[in-house]
Structure 1
């Protein structure tokens, strides 16, 4: 990652000057190196065939050719844009510079932005070169096997030269996610990515679009999931080629890759799956890793999942006591957009022969949430996982799990999904999708009694009071508009955030006043989510919009009760009110 290198102080990205070069056997590469000083290649004095080229450099040439052949000739990606038009680089080969790279980094790829190179055929493409560490002796894992380090580095960095060719402007997240994926496609037995993926599993609620703390490298597990699920590497090629078709990006638009992923999934599944369903299923795969991989149902989970880390205990939201109520805006486990939250109910005291029906309140943005239920039977332990998956576009999700006492754990996986890359908040933003949830003790509220008057109450506009409003007899009181808020068959509020609006007009149709008031039902302090009041009111002081008293007469009132965010009309009515002064 060039920007990562820059953050550590290296700013001068001109081509290195090295005194020797070697052209690879198939002619794809020109490898620049030296045998002296701090940039000397590994075992620079070993030259068994006596041709003047260190054996290490010749082996690098063979590896580089095989990488080129795999990514271009076998997988079908476009060849890197030639640098033949660039000054002093008219060989047209892929240039690889072996030298001592600071801070123990493997390597990086740099675009040749010299205006003399030109764009050749399209402004989407740039020629580039690769710089790679000369001996990998600063990286302890590869000190005794530098060729393995060279293999994964070349697979990774050469894919970047292809990225520069397809769409140099695409978001860096896609670059590093897929370049790390490419390492595994070519060198499945090296598994260098094992060292980076803990950064993903430690933070399951961090967005797939995040580049914080190398998360974009660790997100390679998303690309691996798609490849394994659909049984083809072509889905990643589909994503990259589609990004190229969608055009140049700006630094603030988030890139095209989430849209491209959505389209690739639709194509690969024949329309059976979508981004929301796959991202949520991906989150379920991530639940069955490490020691839990063996518990996954058939055909679910990564082929190498037993070697992956598990999601840490404190990264899951654990519930072991009912009733429970968690307010959405104070939920410490709220996920980023295109990330997941795991809410696990474990060993809770659940009534025999009952239905477990927790309610989840989801923020209005994004429009789609993927939700999965992972049900782990108490006996026997092996192969007894039941999984149901839903995609919802509403703000309320009511689960209904019959006979819950048979399960040792009940885990809900919630994933807010949006394919518009620009919707992911910029660094420093405090926005997160929000999840609130509550559940009684199965039989009802804490005391086991539900007030029947609050069961299945419909939303309604009630009669204003008093009507007529005889002002001399009201003692300075206001005219009151009354509303009824809806509840479920379980006496739970349909919504805890609503708004009341009344527009008033004369009988001639002239606007007189508009009054508004929010309804914010506070349940938290009660520790009981069941309805305790369904009538809410709003007062009118019988003044117009300018603050003057209205005259005696008949007025037309258009009253509405809106759901969260004012997006849904729950109830409305037009009534006449009479005022007598």
Structure 2
């Protein structure tokens, strides 16, 4: 019988080395869960030398999952006490190498460290399972008598002296077996790649950033989410697992902000792929933070995992498809959210004027925006060309334009279809307001602007790298501060503010498909005004102030989003009652 193996991830050799070093006392990584998962899932496909070296640190091969457990889990060694609390069984000791401090200030015969860990995990589990309604990880209660399942059907957490720098980790162990191989018995759907797992946690966090309690909290939120993810699809893309685990830290413990540490390096390399197989994936939490704030909150992030089980990730990366399927309920997609995040990263403001391009904690982030690819000073009559050869997929580059003269920027993809790339003009003003134009050709009048940036986004899901050029030539002055797009012209809505209805004109230079949607300030789709092909001419559109279900929208700020061929315009409209 021919056996079909999953495709080895590109960073498998790196994962093997990291895991060998980690369990040999030479670790330099903070989180080894993604690399441990790589070795566990793909270990049976490694070469003989790699398997031999891994066996020397406890790994066993031959079963569906390569693991460090059989009759006894390696992590249980030296731990002689257990405590059951709710969903979890905690394994620990107060003597020897793995001892936790035995201080017991409340005299309940349980060390304070364990009390603290128990309380944190109770809150983390309650939030993720009861409030956010994620599915429980599959149980190991079905294990045969000669296999270690921690002695009960609880989820096992082994508290021990971990390798230096490691906060904690989750180790996949077996395919769930709820009647069907790889199916999580705790859900009403049928999974293909649900995995059982257990967790290891440090016995102290002395010398780690922040307080010990903060370290326990973010580790618990992050690693337990890995356990949950494995119950949906243990073979899901690593970048999706890590980035959503980081954003889970923010959802549960927003006040700690441990995730801020990943932002400087991530914003320093905006040209690097969002799903790059490296530590870059931790900083990619900002993509899911954008989704969380503007495209559906925690329900949307959970929906991504619900959609992840619709494709068999054992045979390929379907993470972007899962995201698009989830975001479709908000009239969005993976690519749409990527483009909006790219703009938001340059705007970098919590000001209400930023609307769907705002971050709630922007001013607290340790970054002011992404690194600039190049600075261009433009003077009328002197055309210039910007050339790039190092833009990865699902990434962006920012050009800073300095000019007092109007100009037209035209984007050309020199290595593929123009639709693979998108360009945004991000114009900021001193009064904390912004104008955003989108399209492959944009006319910009910088009069009164504090800054002008062009952001190029690689949004195609099939390619890898792109080369492009931006041609800068003379443009046209604005009329009454309205920039004139070279393709479509959109008037400001009138009246504005309005109640109950408002109107606006769209000048269409040639026949093309036009879509117009109303979006709330937090990114929710309110209503579609039109979505069809129009001939050349001026068309007047109206919004009656109602939602897509016929109810009157509430008082507030909205965006009228007009999209045509290589063009997108956002109009700020205010509904007052």
CA deviations over 1:112-167 (Å, ceiling 9, x no partner): 1389997465541111001111101141x13xx21211111011111111111100
Shift of the 368–193 alpha-carbon distance from structure 1 to 2, 3 Å rule, reads same
Shift of the 442–280 alpha-carbon distance from structure 1 to 2, 3 Å rule, reads same
Do the aligned residues in 2 keep the contact of 1:24 with 1:62 (CA within 8 Å)? no
Tell me, yes or no, if structure 1 residue 134 matches structure 2 residue 203: yes
Q: Tell me, what secondary structure is at the counterpart of 1:237? A: helix
Tell me, yes or no, if structure 1 residue 94 matches structure 2 residue 143: no
Q: CA deviation at 1:192?
A: 0.7
Distance 1:71 1:3 in 2: 31
Q: CA deviation at 1:215?
A: 0.7
Distance 2:236 2:176 in 1: 20
Q: Tell me, what secondary structure is at the counterpart of 1:73? A: helix
Q: Tell me, what secondary structure is at the counterpart of 1:438? A: strand
Distance 1:231 1:374 in 2: 25
Tell me, yes or no, if structure 1 residue 302 matches structure 2 residue 359: yes
Tell me, yes or no, if structure 1 residue 364 matches structure 2 residue 416: yes
Match of 1:209 in 2: 275
Q: 2:427 aligns with which of 375, 381, 404?
A: 375
Distance 1:2 1:321 in 2: 47
Match of 2:21 in 1: 8
Q: CA deviation at 1:311?
A: 5.5
Q: Tell me, what secondary structure is at the counterpart of 2:357? A: coil
Match of 2:309 in 1: 244
Distance 1:185 1:258 in 2: 22
177-186 vs 299-308, greater mean Cα deviation: 299-308
Match of 1:220 in 2: 285
Distance 1:200 1:4 in 2: 24
Structure 2 matches for 1:113-262, cutoff 5 A? 113=174, 119=182, 122-139=191-208, 141-142=209-210, 145-212=211-278, 214-250=279-315, 253=316, 255-262=317-324
If the length of structure 2 is used for normalisation, what is the TM-score? 0.64
Gaps (5+ residues) in structure 1?
A: 391-396, 426-431, 444-488, 490-581
Do the aligned residues in 1 keep the contact of 2:396 with 2:458 (CA within 8 Å)? yes
Q: 1:335 aligns with which of 391, 401, 406?
A: 391
Match of 1:37 in 2: 96
Match of 1:107 in 2: 168
Tell me, yes or no, if structure 1 residue 66 matches structure 2 residue 123: yes
> How many pairs does the alignment contain?
403
Shift of the 221–276 alpha-carbon distance from structure 1 to 2, 3 Å rule, reads same
Distance 1:35 1:2 in 2: 33
Do the aligned residues in 2 keep the contact of 1:341 with 1:415 (CA within 8 Å)? yes
Tell me, yes or no, if structure 1 residue 47 matches structure 2 residue 101: no
Q: Tell me, what secondary structure is at the counterpart of 1:440? A: strand
Distance 1:151 1:434 in 2: 43
Gaps (5+ residues) in structure 2?
A: 1-13, 24-56, 59-67, 185-190, 477-508, 510-577
Q: 1:21 aligns with which of 65, 76, 81?
A: 81
Do the aligned residues in 2 keep the contact of 1:366 with 1:433 (CA within 8 Å)? no
User: How much is the aligned-residue C-alpha RMSD, in angstroms?
Assistant: 2.9
Structure 2 matches for 1:376-415, cutoff 5 A? 376-377=428-429, 381-390=430-439, 397-401=440-444, 403-415=445-457
Larger radius of gyration: 1
